[in-house]
Amino acid sequence: SQQGEEDPQALSIQEGENATMNCSYKTSINNLQWYRQNSGRGLVHLILIRSNEREKHSGRLRVTLDTSKKSSSLLITASRAADTASYFCATDYDYKLSFGAGTTVTVRA
């Protein structure tokens, strides 16, 4: 069964705006990862945040983790058309990843 659940399921924004998506999960984790998937392609790793970390940045990406609420968020700032993709959170427990169903982000030019 899939542990992570992303919200919203779909998001449409204008180029230059910020995009925020959330992930909730149910059990303990070692770390939480975010991946991007372009249509017809494999997943690409974006960022990993460990269970003892609260926030992490990578370029235009900002990830937060709240283990007390069992939730994470991914913020993409100053979005570009190339950010159009599906975004998945994946929880790592016992060296196995469980993926959510993803958030589909469309960036309009």
Partner 1 sequence: EAGVAQSPRYKIIEKRQSVAFWCNPISGHATLYWYQQILGQGPKLLIQFQNNGVVDDSQLPKDRFSAERLKGVDSTLKIQPAKLEDSAVYLCASSLEKAQPQHFGDGTRLSIL
The residues that touch partner 1, with contacts defined as CB under 8 A, are: 2, 4, 30-31, 33, 35, 40-45, 48, 88, 90, 92, 95-102
Closest distance between partner 1 and the C-beta of residue 60, in Å?
A: 18
Separation CA 6–CA 9 (nearest Å): 7
Please identify, using beta-carbon distances, which residue of 10 and 78 lies nearer to partner 1: 10
32 in Cβ contact with 89 (< 8 Å): yes
d(CA 42, CA 106): 18
Rounded to a whole number, what is the distance in angstroms from the first to the last CA of the chain?
37
Q: How far apart are CA 34 and CA 43, in angstroms?
A: 10
Nearer to partner 1, 15 or 67 (CB): 67
Q: How far is the CB of 21 from partner 1 (least distance, A)?
A: 13
Instruction: Give the nearest distance from C-beta 28 to partner 1 in angstroms.
Output: 14
In the complex, least distance from residue 70 CB atom to partner 1, rounded to whole angstroms: 17
